[in-house]
């Protein structure tokens, strides 16, 4: 798999994502791509958008990032069928670019929340989740202030009908509609999720339930 | 613009005493300008000059083979082997946090992070020690919410994991909360940056955010007592921008790697003034600044305002001139200001020019070296009266009094607002004892803890000072780490009162004795005095931040108690109830002497724990609340009951020092008892983990019920 991680000036999980993609997904050297670039390196399979505070999150989280020079290349990459993984702030960026539907609002309790949470795997029909079992409950940490997923009723119905909800919270921590923690694009190649699989990918993290996501990706790329 | 006349009122408003002003006249042989008066007030206030504390700080042990850099630089540095070192410091932001809790706490975190990355280190961990007034006080709830959000808001965005800390409530902090922020970074020993300038005619470069009027006079404020005019002081609190700080850190580290930096200093208290003077003074050089070149956020700023502004996220650097283009490109990449604002000069002058006018022309070396130093009168704190009788209690009721209080209830309401895992190297998250972070890409790990028991320090400053260090030593030991070094954040009342100065002197002596005996020298620190409101001082609170090393992650003790495991107590129990948490929480009493710390025994018992880490399933040190609280916390963390044989109050709730509670299997317990016999360490079996109840002697309650009390107490008290 050839992967790149986009680096905004306020990204702070960029290194963590590179480590997970290299160590767990058995990737070749994952590259960092600076937000001021206007194109992505040739021949990429996956682009990951890491957690953090891309431009400080003083405006809506991800709003400025979605209008940065690299964002246009990202959208084109996704439209051509490239794989895109957005975690936490990355998920917020993906909704702001329109690659994923819905929006992430302030947590219902209005506070930042960092803790491990139970997630229920909703679908294994994606190259991000194939190594999980449907209905399986896994534990992955969250760390966000704005993870309260919302979309209009029609969008939610479409997401459910098309089996595009990847994960739901077992114990909704932030007020998300229908406990949604992660959603897929229509072509199932773009995943946005608030929990951090890269923080649960080695035994030293205290849990390895996030590793299957990277293994799923590695498996899919090996087959491709 | 005309500068104001120097009058007695103006001098007093700058916090300068008449004899201090006389010294200025003597140094200059003339009256200072308004800008010069501001510069003196910034350099000579308590916060920057340590004028009341210097004499005593010099007595602290600061050296050891592990110490690369002791006090005097931005932060201390200790060796962790393999060409790597840890850079760390703790600093207070008490006064700003009381006035504006969110920004005060946020910029406290920002300031301490800057101290660490200014030396070339990437921050890898943060902690904070917070002291608030009683929960029923009308300001407490707002302060707790604001401070915790401010710490999280800054650290989470910056991207440093907060891995530990402490929160306490006591009426003595009603008018003066304490916010002590700790940060640690990782550095290679061959790329450490210090602040001493070198070379004449080298460009002085301003980096980071623009200068505004925020914080003008902040350091002077932090050196005065509060009174009811406090609300008027709000404009002196700075506003933090963690996004800019994150970029400043990345740009600074890139700049250092490029070889462009001769010396560098962050702008903290009294911003441009302190940073320029420090660089010149340490390098035995003068500095000329041309203020019209300073990037400004507001129009018509005067020299006085620019020299005293405490705008955040700024640095001052002396640059290798041939590297200017390369350096500028790095700051352009991160969209930060980069401006040459002056140069180093050979004469001993601090020359401040603004649009061609000379606003200040001072002998630079005198600004810090001639700063006043006081040998303040002090009186020894009288010995505490003996402990009065303690009524008999039901053991579980005593436990409930502790775990139902926000002081000893679980703190997840606080630490779940902090990103504890960013950087993905945290291997022990907050909750119980020290936090532990891996050294990225190695098998090593570093442990962090922050400790002090202010009740003890008040009753007996010397023993309380010792105990704060000993508890930090135990917390590091309990996770298997070898304690390396210490940072002290000394929060006290008005040092002009001999009894307060006596607390300070006693605590310093105790801290000094303990860090010497436990081989964890002081490498950095901060003093915060005048923590008083309307004449009422805080509890003396010398917060100890300490760092320990795990040579291998295999040495980590991170397990939880399991069903069927034996509870082993390491150390002697005499049942010391004076100044105990039980007295405070159950009876509202703070009497008796503080427990005494036998430092030889501390060291012996600590060495025993580390030497036998492989036999230990789970470990916690005993502190506040004694055996009863430690056994409960261990059981709760392992989601298993515990039965202790003892039911008497002194055994269960006494706070004797140098003790640890262990959980281990039968075979391990036998081996530990044998090893203890050889080492001369007292180890006794005190009970057993198992079932779903907490049983102390004949008294018991379901774990689930006590857990609800424990987990809900904090939010119930303040949310």
Per-residue pLDDT for A16 more than 80? yes
Name which of A92, A112, A117, A171 to mutate to probe chain B: the one with the most chain B Cβ atoms within 10 A of its Cβ: A112
Residue matched to tokens 């299957």 = A212
Please give the pLDDT value at position B233.
52
Please give the pLDDT value at position A24.
80
Considering only CB atoms, A199 lies closest to which of B335, B416, B424, namely B424
- How open is the CA angle B391-B392-B396, to the nearest 5 degrees? 125
Residue B492 pLDDT level (bands cut at 50, 70, 90): very high
Question: Tokens standing for A214?
Answer: 């990277």
Cβ-based contacts of A51 with chain B (< 8 Å): 422
Contact B243/A53, CB-based, under 8 Å? yes
Per-residue pLDDT for B369 more than 90? no
Please give the pLDDT value at position B563.
98
Contact B242/A56, CB-based, under 8 Å? yes
Measure B412 CA to nearest chain A CA, in Å: 9
Could you read off the pLDDT of B357-368 as tens digits, one per residue?
Answer: 999 999 999 998
Contact A206/B247, CB-based, under 8 Å? no
Name which of A5, A8, A9, A15 to mutate to probe chain B: the one with the most chain B Cβ atoms within 10 A of its Cβ: A9
**Average model confidence (pLDDT) across chain B:** 95
- Region of B179 (left: φ > 0; alpha: ψ -120 to 50; beta: rest) is beta
Contact B427/A111, CB-based, under 8 Å? no
Q: What is the DSSP string of B94-148?
A: HHHHHHSHHHHHHHHHHHHHHHHHTTTPEEEEEEEEEEE--TTSTTHHHHHHHHH
CATH of domain A3-223: 3.40.50.880
Could you read off the pLDDT of B231-257 as tens digits, one per residue?
Answer: 455 466 788 999 999 999 999 999 999
8 Å CB contact between B169 and B134: yes
8 Å CB contact between B630 and B637: no
Q: How far apart are CA B130 and CA B714, in angstroms?
A: 14
Could you read off the pLDDT of B277-310 as tens digits, one per residue?
Answer: 999 999 999 999 999 999 999 999 999 999 999 8
Q: Where are the beta strands (DSSP E) in A122-184?
A: 137-144, 148-150, 165-169, 180-184
Torsion angles phi and psi, residue B708, rounded to 5: -60, -45
Torsion angles phi and psi, residue A10, rounded to 5: -105, 10
8 Å CB contact between B338 and B205: yes
Considering only CB atoms, A56 lies closest to which of B243, B417, B429, namely B243
Residues 157-196 of A with CB under 8 A from B: 196
Could you read off the pLDDT of B158-185 as tens digits, one per residue?
Answer: 999 999 999 999 999 999 999 999 999 9
Measure A219 CA to nearest chain B CA, in Å: 24
Contact A143/B419, CB-based, under 8 Å? yes
Cβ-based contacts of A19 with chain B (< 8 Å): 424
Please give the pLDDT value at position B219.
53
Measure B161 CA to nearest chain A CA, in Å: 11
Could you read off the pLDDT of B308-356 as tens digits, one per residue?
Answer: 998 999 999 999 999 999 999 999 999 999 999 999 999 999 999 999 9
Cβ-based contacts of B122 with chain A (< 8 Å): none
Q: How far apart are CA B8 and CA A114, in angstroms?
A: 53
Terminal CA-CA length for chain B: 50
Q: How far apart are CA A162 and CA B57, in angstroms?
A: 68
Measure A182 CA to nearest chain B CA, in Å: 20
Considering only CB atoms, B419 lies closest to which of A19, A58, A114, namely A114
Considering only CB atoms, A141 lies closest to which of B157, B421, B427, namely B421
Q: How far apart are CA B560 and CA B618, in angstroms?
A: 5
Averaged pLDDT, B678-688 = 97
Pairing type for strands B162-169 and B122-132 reads parallel
**Average model confidence (pLDDT) across chain A:** 96
Could you read off the pLDDT of B652-669 as tens digits, one per residue?
Answer: 999 999 999 999 999 999
Cβ-based contacts of A114 with chain B (< 8 Å): 156, 415-421
Closest CA to B287 of B194, B195, B201, B193: B201
Closest CA to B439 of B611, B256, B163, B185: B185
Would you please indicate which residues of B are annotated as catalytic (active-site) residues? 47, 93
Say whether residue A109 is in contact with chain B using an 8 A CB cutoff.
Answer: no
Contact A9/B334, CB-based, under 8 Å? yes
Burial class (CB in 10 A: 0-12, 13-18, 19+), A41: exposed
Contacts for B17 with CB less than 8 Å, ≥ 6 apart: none
Contact B427/A51, CB-based, under 8 Å? no
Q: How far apart are CA B116 and CA B272, in angstroms?
A: 18
Closest CA to B7 of B31, B35, B28: B31
Cβ-based contacts of A198 with chain B (< 8 Å): 424
Name which of A5, A7, A8, A10 to mutate to probe chain B: the one with the most chain B Cβ atoms within 10 A of its Cβ: A10
Contact B334/A10, CB-based, under 8 Å? no
Contact B159/A115, CB-based, under 8 Å? no
Chain B: residue nearest A201 by CA?
Answer: B424
8 Å CB contact between B529 and B602: no
Residues in chain B whose beta carbon is closer than 8 A to a beta carbon of chain A?
A: 149, 152-153, 156-159, 241-244, 246-247, 250, 333-335, 412, 415-424, 427, 429, 438, 553
Give the SS3 label for residue B591: coil
Per-residue pLDDT for B223 more than 70? no
Please give the pLDDT value at position B232.
53
Share of chain A above pLDDT 90, in %: 94
Averaged pLDDT, B410-438 = 96
Contact B422/A141, CB-based, under 8 Å? no
Please give the pLDDT value at position B339.
97
Per-residue pLDDT for A150 more than 90? yes
Q: What is the DSSP string of B325-362?
A: HHHHHHHHHTT-EEEEEEEEESSS-EEEEETTEEEEEE
Would you please indicate which residues of A are annotated as catalytic (active-site) residues? 88, 196, 198
Considering only CB atoms, A10 lies closest to which of B149, B243, B420, namely B243
Say whether residue A9 is in contact with chain B using an 8 A CB cutoff.
Answer: yes
Per-residue pLDDT for B224 more than 80? no
Q: Where are the domains of chain A?
A: 3-223
Q: Where are the alpha helices (DSSP H) in B284-320?
A: 303-308
Cβ-based contacts of B241 with chain A (< 8 Å): 56
Please give the pLDDT value at position B215.
74
Considering only CB atoms, A56 lies closest to which of B157, B417, B418, namely B157
Could you read off the pLDDT of B551-600 as tens digits, one per residue?
Answer: 999 999 989 999 999 999 999 999 999 999 999 999 999 999 999 999 99
Name which of B240, B413, B416, B421 to mutate to probe chain A: the one with the most chain A Cβ atoms within 10 A of its Cβ: B421
Please give the pLDDT value at position B431.
87
Please give the pLDDT value at position B370.
81
Please give the pLDDT value at position B270.
79
| Whether the model pTM is above 0.90 | yes
Cβ-based contacts of A174 with chain B (< 8 Å): none
Per-residue pLDDT for B485 more than 90? yes
Q: How far apart are CA B67 and CA B79, in angstroms?
A: 6
Contact A10/B250, CB-based, under 8 Å? no
Higher pLDDT, B75 or B534: B75
Contact A196/B158, CB-based, under 8 Å? no
Dihedral sign from CA coordinates of A168, A173, A174, A177: positive
8 Å CB contact between B501 and B376: yes
Residue B221 pLDDT level (bands cut at 50, 70, 90): low
Please give the pLDDT value at position A26.
78
Chain A: residue nearest B251 by CA?
Answer: A9
Question: Tokens standing for A174?
Answer: 């932030």
Contact A143/B553, CB-based, under 8 Å? no
Q: Where are the beta strands (DSSP E) in B581-651?
A: 618-621, 642-644
Per-residue pLDDT for B269 more than 90? no
Q: How far apart are CA B477 and CA B463, in angstroms?
A: 20
Contact A198/B424, CB-based, under 8 Å? yes
Size of interface A-B (CB pairs under 8 A): 87
Dihedral sign from CA coordinates of A196, A202, A206, A207: positive
Q: How far apart are CA B104 and CA B110, in angstroms?
A: 10
Burial class (CB in 10 A: 0-12, 13-18, 19+), B221: buried
Burial class (CB in 10 A: 0-12, 13-18, 19+), A206: middle
Question: Tokens standing for B300?
Answer: 């018509």
Q: How far apart are CA A37 and CA A85, in angstroms?
A: 19
Q: How far apart are CA A177 and CA B556, in angstroms?
A: 41
Share of chain B above pLDDT 90, in %: 91
Dihedral sign from CA coordinates of B661, B664, B670, B676: negative
Considering only CB atoms, A115 lies closest to which of B149, B333, B416, namely B416
Name which of B106, B155, B243, B444 to mutate to probe chain A: the one with the most chain A Cβ atoms within 10 A of its Cβ: B243
Q: Which of the residue ranges A197-206, B225-234, B396-405, B443-452 would you say has the lowest mean pLDDT?
A: B225-234
Name residue B76's beta-bridge partners. B88
């Amino acid at each position: 798999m050839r992967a790149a991680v986009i680096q905004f000036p306020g990204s702070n999980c960029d290194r963590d994502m590179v480590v997970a993609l290299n160590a767990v997904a058995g990737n070749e050297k994952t590259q960092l791509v600076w937000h001021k670039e206007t194109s992505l390196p040739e021949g990429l399979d996956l682009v990951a958008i890491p957690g953090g505070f891309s431009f400080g999150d003083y405006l809506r989280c991800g709003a400025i990032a979605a209008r940065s020079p690299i964002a246009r290349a990202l959208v084109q990459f996704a439209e051509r069928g490239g794989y895109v993984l957005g975690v936490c702030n990355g998920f917020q960026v993906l909704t702001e670019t329109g690659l994923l539907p819905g929006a992430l609002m302030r947590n219902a309790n209005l506070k930042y929340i960092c803790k491990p949470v139970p997630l229920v795997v909703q679908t294994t029909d994606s190259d991000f989740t194939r190594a999980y079992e449907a209905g399986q409950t896994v534990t992955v940490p969250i760390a966000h202030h704005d993870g309260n997923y919302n979309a209009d009723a029609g969008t939610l119905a479409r997401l459910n009908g098309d089996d595009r909800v990847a994960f739901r919270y077992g114990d909704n921590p932030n007020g998300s509609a229908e406990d949604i923690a992660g959603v897929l694009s229509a072509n199932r190649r773009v995943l946005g999720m608030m929990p951090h699989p890269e923080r649960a990918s080695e035994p030293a993290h205290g849990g390895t339930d996030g590793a299957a996501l990277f293994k799923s990706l590695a498996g899919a790329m090996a087959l491709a | 613009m005309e500068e104001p006349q120097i009058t007695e009122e103006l001098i007093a408003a700058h916090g300068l005493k008449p004899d201090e002003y006389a010294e200025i006249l003597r140094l200059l042989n003339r009256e200072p300008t308004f800008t010069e008066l501001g510069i003196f007030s910034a350099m000579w206030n308590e916060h920057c000059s340590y004028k009341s504390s210097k004499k005593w700080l010099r007595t602290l042990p600061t050296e050891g083979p592990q110490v690369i850099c002791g006090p005097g630089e931005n932060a201390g540095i200790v060796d962790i082997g393999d060409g790597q070192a840890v850079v760390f410091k703790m600093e207070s932001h008490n006064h700003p946090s009381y006035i504006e809790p969110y920004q005060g706490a946020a910029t406290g975190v920002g300031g301490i992070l800057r101290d660490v990355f200014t030396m070339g280190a990437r921050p890898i961990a943060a902690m904070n020690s917070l002291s608030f007034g009683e929960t029923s006080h009308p300001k407490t709830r707002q302060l707790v919410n604001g401070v915790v959000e401010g710490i999280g808001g800054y650290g989470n965005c910056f991207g440093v994991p907060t891995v530990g800390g402490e929160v306490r409530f006591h009426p003595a902090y009603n008018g003066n909360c304490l916010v002590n922020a700790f940060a640690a970074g990782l550095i290679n020993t061959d790329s450490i940056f210090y602040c001493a300038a070198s070379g004449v005619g080298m460009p002085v470069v301003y980096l980071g955010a623009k200068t505004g009027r925020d914080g003008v006079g902040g350091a002077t404020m932090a050196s005065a007592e509060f009174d009811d005019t406090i609300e008027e002081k709000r404009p002196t609190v700075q506003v933090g921008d963690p996004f800019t700080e994150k970029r400043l850190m990345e740009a600074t580290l890139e700049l250092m790697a490029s070889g462009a930096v001769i010396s560098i200093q962050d702008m903290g208290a009294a911003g441009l003034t302190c940073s320029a003077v420090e660089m010149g003074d340490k390098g035995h050089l003068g500095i000329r600044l041309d203020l019209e070149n300073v990037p400004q956020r507001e129009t018509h700023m005067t020299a006085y305002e620019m020299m005293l502004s405490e705008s955040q996220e700024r640095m001052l650097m002396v640059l290798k001139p041939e590297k200017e283009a390369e350096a500028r490109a790095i700051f352009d990449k991160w969209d930060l200001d980069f401006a040459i604002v002056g140069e180093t000069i050979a004469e001993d002058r601090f020359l401040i020019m603004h649009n061609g006018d000379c606003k200040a022309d001072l002998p630079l070396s005198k600004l810090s070296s001639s700063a006043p130093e006081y040998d303040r009168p002090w009186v020894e704190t009288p010995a505490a009266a003996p402990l009065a009788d303690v009524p008999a209690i039901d053991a579980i009721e005593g436990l409930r009094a502790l775990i139902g209080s926000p002081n000893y209830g679980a703190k997840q309401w606080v630490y779940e607002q902090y990103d504890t895992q960013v950087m993905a190297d945290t291997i022990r998250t907050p909750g119980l004892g020290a936090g532990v972070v891996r050294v990225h890409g190695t098998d090593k790990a570093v442990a962090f803890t922050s400790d002090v028991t202010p009740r003890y320090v008040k009753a007996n400053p010397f023993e309380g000072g010792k105990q704060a260090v000993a508890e930090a030593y135990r917390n590091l030991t309990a996770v298997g780490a070898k304690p390396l070094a210490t940072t002290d954040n000394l929060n006290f009342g008005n040092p002009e009162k001999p009894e307060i100065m006596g607390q300070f002197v006693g605590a310093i002596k105790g801290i000094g004795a303990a860090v010497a005996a436990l081989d964890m020298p002081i490498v950095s620190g901060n003093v915060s005095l005048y923590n008083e409101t309307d004449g009422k001082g805080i509890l003396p609170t010398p917060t100890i931040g300490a760092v320990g090393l795990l040579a291998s992650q295999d040495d980590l003790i991170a397990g939880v108690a399991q069903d069927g495991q034996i509870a082993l107590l390491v150390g002697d129990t005499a049942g010391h109830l004076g100044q105990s948490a039980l007295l405070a929480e159950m009876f509202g009493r703070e009497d008796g002497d503080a427990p005494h710390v036998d430092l030889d025994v501390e060291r012996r018992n600590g060495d025993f724990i580390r030497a036998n880490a492989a036999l230990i399933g789970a470990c916690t040190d005993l502190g506040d609340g004694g055996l009863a609280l430690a056994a409960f916390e261990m059981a709760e963390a392992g989601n298993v009951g515990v039965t202790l044989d003892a039911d008497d109050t002194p055994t269960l709730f006494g706070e004797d020092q140098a003790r640890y509670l262990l959980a281990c299997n039968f075979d391990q317990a036998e081996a530990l008892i044998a090893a203890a016999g050889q080492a001369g360490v007292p180890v006794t079996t005190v009970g057993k983990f198992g079932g779903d109840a907490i049983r102390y002697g004949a008294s018991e309650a379901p774990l689930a019920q006590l857990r609800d009390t424990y987990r809900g107490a904090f939010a119930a008290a303040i949310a």
